[in-house]
Homo-oligomer: A and B are copies of this chain.
Amino acid sequence: MKLTQAYIITIGDELLIGQTIDTNSAWIAQKLNAQGIHILRRVAVADEKAAIITALDEALAVADVVLITGGLGPTADDITKPLLCEYFGGKLVINERVLEHVKGIFSRRNRPFLDRNMAQAEVPDVATVLYNRMGTAPGMWFEKDGRVVIAMPGVPFEMEAIMEDEVLPRFKERYVTGAIVHRTTITAGEGESFIAEQIKDLEEALPSHIHLAYLPGPGIVKLRLTGHGNDQELLQKEVEQLQFVFAERIQHIVVALEDKSLEEILGAALLEQKLFAGLAESCTGGLIAHKLTNIHGSSNFFRGSVVCYLPPVKERLVGVPHELIEKHGVVSSEVAAAMATGARNSLGTDIGFGVTGVLSPSEDYPVPTGTVWMAVADKNRVVTKEFRFHYDRIRNKELAAQNGLLIMLRFLQNKL
């Protein structure tokens, strides 16, 4: 079966000068992929007529569906709407429903409705309007020779709302798609070459419609099996069985059999064991707490974190003895352990975690840059572990946070 082919065009000078990171494409790709639509290509072009038209011509030559984001705002640098109107031979007319919606937004926010906002209610008469419940710029759906072109604003949550409310349901109806199944195994502890060596024979024996990819990330390597076929259910079974075979071979490093974040995996493990965690974060500066509280329902397994960035805060709020810091230094196994037990006590939790380290060059510490000590404690035991990270501050911080989540998980699994 021939898959529906999609092409994503993102428009905006900010993408080409690197002022903005394109998160829209990844979001769109994920959603289309889940509906069995294949992405041929993603292209980012400037807010320039010629560049946009070239991209559109190229896309329509090869794709069934073209999704465009950006350039629909109310200011002079936004040229996508008149350009598409001309491209599809239409003219701009006020859409009453959009006008009412835009006026409603302004009045709810107590903002004056300006002439230029009137233009936001203009839509090409050859387009179907896609309602934008999150903002003022409507999405648009054009058709030409059986191919579809969709334009949406570049603001991520507005684009997401239009996709979910208007685009994806229409795609589901319109496109009979082939089956695509992804299964991701998350591993920690070994590099991708070493993993590849252990599963070489399995990888070579994969049938031609199933493909293995290695995705290294901070502290982990993801192994993704992707299968293409016609029967979703059969394919699902086939890929899942293969995933188990692979995972069994490398079970000592498998963290999870789903493509979830480490915080989601840890959260689920805490919930399952009916435990609460509390943290004392020094060098990670609140990043672990931030990750955990991104999860809806985290108040069922997470009580809080003391971001004790300076040593006196470790003493005052986590109860780390001053003498311990004096004797062993603030970046030490002993202080990490005292932070983990201190977090448990101060926050009143089952599991306590502590992390202390030096992430970027500093003369204040007698340990090498990148040295981080972590500890996990419950009522029976305290385990500490040393790490050494070799990158810059931001990356070392991310690595420390990921490894913090990992060692809490390993602790709960009795593997630490």
Task: Give the B-binding residues of A (Cβ under 8 A).
Answer: 13-23, 25-31, 33, 39-47, 51, 55, 73-77, 111-112, 114, 116-117, 120, 134, 155, 157, 182, 184, 191-194, 196-197, 203, 211-216, 222, 224, 226, 259, 279, 281, 283-290, 292-294, 296, 298-299, 302-310, 312-313, 316-317, 346-348, 360, 391-395, 397
Contact of A16 among B42, B203, B286 (CB under 8 A): B42
> Are the C-beta atoms of B193 and A114 separated by less than 8 Å?
yes
Q: List 26 A-B contacts (CB under 8 A).
A: A17-B33, A17-B182, A18-B30, A19-B259, A41-B43, A41-B45, A41-B55, A42-B43, A43-B43, A75-B192, A76-B196, A111-B191, A116-B193, A279-B307, A283-B293, A285-B290, A286-B286, A286-B305, A293-B309, A302-B309, A303-B310, A304-B308, A306-B306, A306-B307, A316-B346, A317-B347
A288 cross-chain contacts in B, Cβ below 8 A:
286
Contact of A299 among B76, B114, B305, B310 (CB under 8 A): B310
Contact of A214 among B77, B213, B393 (CB under 8 A): B77
> Are the C-beta atoms of B197 and A116 separated by less than 8 Å?
yes
A22-B22, A283-B293 known; 6 new pairs, CB 8 Å cut-off, are A18-B31, A22-B42, A157-B392, A286-B289, A304-B313, A316-B347
Given contacts A51-B41, A111-B194, A194-B112, whether A294 and B393 have CB atoms under 8 Å apart is yes
A77 cross-chain contacts in B, Cβ below 8 A:
211-214
> Are the C-beta atoms of B41 and A17 separated by less than 8 Å?
no
**Cβ of A102 to closest chain B Cβ, rounded Å:** 10
Q: Given the complex of chains A and B, what is the CA–CA distance between A92 and B294 in angstroms?
A: 47
> Are the C-beta atoms of B17 and A30 separated by less than 8 Å?
yes
